[in-house]
């Protein structure tokens, strides 16, 4: 099992020194100059096959159960922001330990993994998302790159559909909603997610 190791890594990350501290002396390669490189938020998947960790829906823990897939937007349509690493950096600046979403979908439809999903329960404490106030423990967060309803591409929605189907195949039951379903203070994801859900997964429309 790699879970123990993963958790250990998370613990180490969580207790990392103040990000303002310089750690040049501890760099493994003193010759390296890529100080600006962001940590890898997860494997990218150019081919489009979605590989998720094994999930055993029969082992809920502490009453946690996934109820929603929450759709977000990145609130930027700049090409340089069209990647999970940028979101990871933004969220770290906001004090999160890393990207708050579990998945990120680029303009070209590439799926990137953000915060990991674990096996039992699907969200270990370290894997709980940081994306939707009040339901982080019971939801999976996916972010589409873009800010305006015109930004989102057919390729992105195709990947979103495949993500939904893949999660279903894992035995996870959930409704699909946009971030703004849960708060009046957000317009995110800035497109008519109800229409998309109705057209593609009508049984997953929340009441």
CA distance 105 to 120: 25
Residue 179 interacts with Zn ion (CB under 5 A)?
yes
Tokens for 35, please give them: 């100080």
Residue 175 interacts with Zn ion (CB under 5 A)?
no
72: annotated active-site residue:
yes
Applying CB under 5 A, the span of 12-20, 53-61, 164-172, 179-187 interacting with Zn ion comes to 179-187
CA distances from 107 to 18, 83, 91, 151, 156 (A): 33, 9, 20, 8, 6
CA distance 161 to 197: 9
Interface positions, 83-112, toward Zn ion (CB under 5 A): none
CA distance 203 to 122: 22
Binding map of Zn ion across residues 57-86, x = CB under 5 A, - = no contact: ---------------x--------------
Binding map of Zn ion across residues 187-206, x = CB under 5 A, - = no contact: -x------------------
Which residues contact Zn ion by CB under 5 A? 72, 179, 188
Active site (catalytic) residues: 72, 101, 179, 185, 188
């Amino acid at each position: 099992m790699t879970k123990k190791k993963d958790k250990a890594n998370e613990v180490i990350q969580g207790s990392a020194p103040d990000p303002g501290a310089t750690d040049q002396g501890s760099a493994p390669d003193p010759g390296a100059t890529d100080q600006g490189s962001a940590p890898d938020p997860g494997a990218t998947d150019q081919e489009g096959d979605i590989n998720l960790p094994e999930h055993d829906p029969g082992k809920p823990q502490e009453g946690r159960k996934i109820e929603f897939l929450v759709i977000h937007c990145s609130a930027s349509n700049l090409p340089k922001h069209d990647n999970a690493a940028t979101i990871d950096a933004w969220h770290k600046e906001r004090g999160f330990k890393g990207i708050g979403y579990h998945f990120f979908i680029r303009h070209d439809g590439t799926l990137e993994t953000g915060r990991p999903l674990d096996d039992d329960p699907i969200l270990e404490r370290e894997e709980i998302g940081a994306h939707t106030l009040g339901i982080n423990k019971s939801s999976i967060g996916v972010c589409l790159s873009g800010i305006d309803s015109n930004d989102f591409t057919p390729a992105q929605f195709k990947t979103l559909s495949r993500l939904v189907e893949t999660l279903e195949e894992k035995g996870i039951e959930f409704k699909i909603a946009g971030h703004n379903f849960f708060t009046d203070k957000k317009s995110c994801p800035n497109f008519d997610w109800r229409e998309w859900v109705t057209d593609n997964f009508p049984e997953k429309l929340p009441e």
